[in-house]
């Protein structure tokens, strides 16, 4: 690999991607691969922290997710695509980091606090779940990545990663960089019901959604609640349908805004236009769909090869960390 700055980012295997993932994360990854040396990982161990009871779809979810990464233009010739559990060095570094990470840092993690509230888990939080940020620090630091593209919600984890790196470096030797989060200024796309877009809420539009489904879902979207009759003047700034027109680059966005405000454009017509526009948009953002869709074996080979190459990098850092900690004994493994 070249001397460019290195990026690591990961995603839990959640299955097929939706347009929220595209605007929030994937579009950014596709851009970054031209400027940085990128490693993108399937965080299957992270998925286990909360979904350890239901693992039967993990593999399908991984393949479906990575098929979508590839379809939108993540290029396996340019990036390393790997699977966390196929690079066990992450787990060993996690163990070493767990020795130097105060439990207080993890108990104060606002992401965990929020999850506990949402899930009503308080007493039952798993040991692995508590260590979520330590595992994430291992993912990033084992490749000495200096930048980490993530959503706003992950920033506290990057903070903990920096603290772990700093602590390791000051205790032993300056092995690790202190990585920074790379945030996107992506348009906020909500689900078709106006809540956060999420597959579990069934309010998403998938990147590989068939045209008929796109039409059905778009026609079910909420619009400006004050625009009841066709000719009522609307408020595009409060309308999720308008946000979609703008975010997906409809070139007629100015006319739509004007005609909605003046009451000449009705919501049904506006949604019909959005559906057709979205169908074309989904085709353009997934130019490689035909190369990967339904080609499980090809996708698996890409992940196996990426993990093999990632492992060579991970091993080197692990040797260095063991040496710095005094548990290398001059014995390479």
Minimum distance, C-beta of residue 102 to ligand TRP, in the bound complex (Å): 20
Shortest Å, Cβ 111 to ligand TRP = 8
**Beta strand extents in the chain (DSSP E only):** 6-11, 37-42, 80-83, 147-149, 180-182
Which of these segments, 10-18, 86-94, 102-110, 323-331, binds ligand TRP (CB under 6 A)?
Answer: 10-18
| Beta carbons within 8 Å of 284's beta carbon, 6+ residues apart | none
Q: Which residue has the tokens 């009522």?
A: 232
As measured in angstroms, the least distance from the Cβ of 205 to ligand TRP is 20
Ranges within 122-141 binding ligand TRP (CB under 6 A)? 136, 139-140
112 in contact with ligand TRP (CB under 6 A): no
311-330 binders of ligand TRP (CB under 6 A): none
Task: Pick out residues in 196-255 that bind ligand TRP (CB under 6 A).
Answer: none
Of residues 12, 22, 10, the one with CA closest to residue 206: 22
The CA distances from residue 193 to 37, 122, 190, 205, in Å, are: 38, 30, 8, 11
**How many chain residues touch ligand TRP (CB under 6 A)?**
13
Identify the three-state secondary structure at position 190: strand
Q: Is residue 8 a contact point for ligand TRP (CB under 6 A)?
A: yes
Place of tokens 């879902």: 217
Please select the residue that binds ligand TRP; options are 6, 21, 46, 227, rule is CB under 6 A: 46
Token pair 């405000």 is found at 261
3-state secondary structure at position 119:
helix
DSSP H helical ranges for 126-265: 127-130, 132-141, 155-171, 211-219, 240-247, 253-262
Q: Select from 6, 12, 162, 311 the one that contacts ligand TRP (CB under 6 A).
A: 12
Distance in Å, CB of 14 to ligand TRP, minimum: 9
Using the minimum distance from each CB to ligand TRP, give the nearer residue, 50 or 272: 50
Binding residue for ligand TRP, selected from 7, 10, 147, 207, defined by CB under 6 A: 10
Residues 139-198 binding ligand TRP (CB under 6 A) are: 139-140, 148, 150, 154
Provide the 3-class DSSP secondary structure of residue 39: strand
Q: How near is the Cβ of 137 to ligand TRP at its closest, in Å?
A: 8
Burial (CB < 10 A; 0-12, 13-18, 19+), residue 174, is exposed
Q: Which stretch binds ligand TRP (CB under 6 A): 9-17, 55-63, 215-223, 225-233?
A: 9-17
Nearer to ligand TRP, 76 or 133 (CB): 133
Q: How far apart are CB 8 and ligand TRP at their closest, in Å?
A: 5
Residue whose CB is nearest to ligand TRP in the complex, by number: 10
**Number of H-type helices and E-type strands within the chain:** 16, 5
CB closer to ligand TRP, 11 vs 314: 11
Of the residues 43, 141, 274, 282, which one makes contact with ligand TRP according to CB under 6 A: 43
30 binds ligand TRP (CB under 6 A): no
Instruction: Name the site residues for ligand TRP (rule: CB under 6 A).
Output: 8-12, 43, 46, 136, 139-140, 148, 150, 154
């Amino acid at each position: 690999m070249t001397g460019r700055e290195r990026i690591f980012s990961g995603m839990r295997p959640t299955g097929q991607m939706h347009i929220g993932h595209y605007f929030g994360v994937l579009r950014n990854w596709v851009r970054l691969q031209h400027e940085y040396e990128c490693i993108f990982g399937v965080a299957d161990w992270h998925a286990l922290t909360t979904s350890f009871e239901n693992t039967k779809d993990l593999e399908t979810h991984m393949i479906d997710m990575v098929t979508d990464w590839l379809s939108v233009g993540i290029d396996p010739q340019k990036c390393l695509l790997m699977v966390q559990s196929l690079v066990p060095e992450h787990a060993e570094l996690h163990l070493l980091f767990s020795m130097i990470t105060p439990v207080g840092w993890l108990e104060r993690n606002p992401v965990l606090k929020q999850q506990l509230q949402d899930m009503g888990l308080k007493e039952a939080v798993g040991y692995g779940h508590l260590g979520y940020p330590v595992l994430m620090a291992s993912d990033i630091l084992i490749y000495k990545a200096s930048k980490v593209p993530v959503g706003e919600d992950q920033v506290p984890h990057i903070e903990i990663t920096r603290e772990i790196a700093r602590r390791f470096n000051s205790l032993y030797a300056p092995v690790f960089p202190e990585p920074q989060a790379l945030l996107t200024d992506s348009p906020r796309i909500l689900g078709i019901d106006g809540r956060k877009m999420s597959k579990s809420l069934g309010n998403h539009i998938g990147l590989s959604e068939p045209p008929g489904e796109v039409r059905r879902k778009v026609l079910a979207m909420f619009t400006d609640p004050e625009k009841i009759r066709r000719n009522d003047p609307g408020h595009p700034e409060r309308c999720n349908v308008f946000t979609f027109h703008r975010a997906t680059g409809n070139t007629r966005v100015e006319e739509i805004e004007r005609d909605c405000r003046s009451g000449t454009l009705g919501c049904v017509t506006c949604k019909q236009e959005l559906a057709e526009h979205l169908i074309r948009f989904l085709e353009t953002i997934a130019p490689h769909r035909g190369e990967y869709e339904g080609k499980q074996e090809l996708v698996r080979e890409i992940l196996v090869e990426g993990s093999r190459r990632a492992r060579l990098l991970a091993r080197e850092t692990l040797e260095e960390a063991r040496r710095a900690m005094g548990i290398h004994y001059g014995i390479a493994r």
